[in-house]
Amino acid sequence: MRFALAVLGGALVQAVAFLRLVGLGGSPLAAGVIVLTAFGTGFFAARRGALAGFASVYLGNLLFFLANVLRYGSGEDPSGVFAVLGRMLIVQLVILPFGIAGAVAGWTGEQARRRLVRAWR
């Protein structure tokens, strides 16, 4: 349950951040948001931090994509739902490097939590 809540929370933070920060800093700002959010996701998940960070990146991107489709529509493409699903798949493949960075940051967050809990006891 904690894992699912951590991933969902991280994904929501990323989706809202991307919706609010569109065009403000480009890729470096996006990478910073992804890494910090994935670190927090791995920290709060406490186990399987790499998977939590990776999943939060992909779920956050999916939520961002769906919010944009709901806000702006499917665009001028006359092919309908299949074109939207195709673009969604392409976007999910393009963010793979960010997913890998999210996995590393999530693992680091999990390790930081373990060390903090060990030092606290």
Per-run averaged pLDDT (10 residues), the chain, 121 residues: 93 89 74 92 92 93 86 69 78 84 95 91 78
Q: What SS3 class is residue 121?
A: coil
Instruction: Give the number of domains in the chain.
Output: 1
Q: In which region does residue 47 sit, left (phi positive, over 0), alpha (psi from -120 to 50) or beta (all else)?
A: beta
Give me the domain span that covers residue 111. 2-120
Query: CA distances (Å), 116 to each of 9, 43, 52, 88, 109, in order?
Result: 21, 10, 19, 39, 10
Rounded to two decimals, the pTM is: 0.84
CA distance 38 to 101: 8
Nearest-angstrom CA–CA distance, 110 and 52: 9
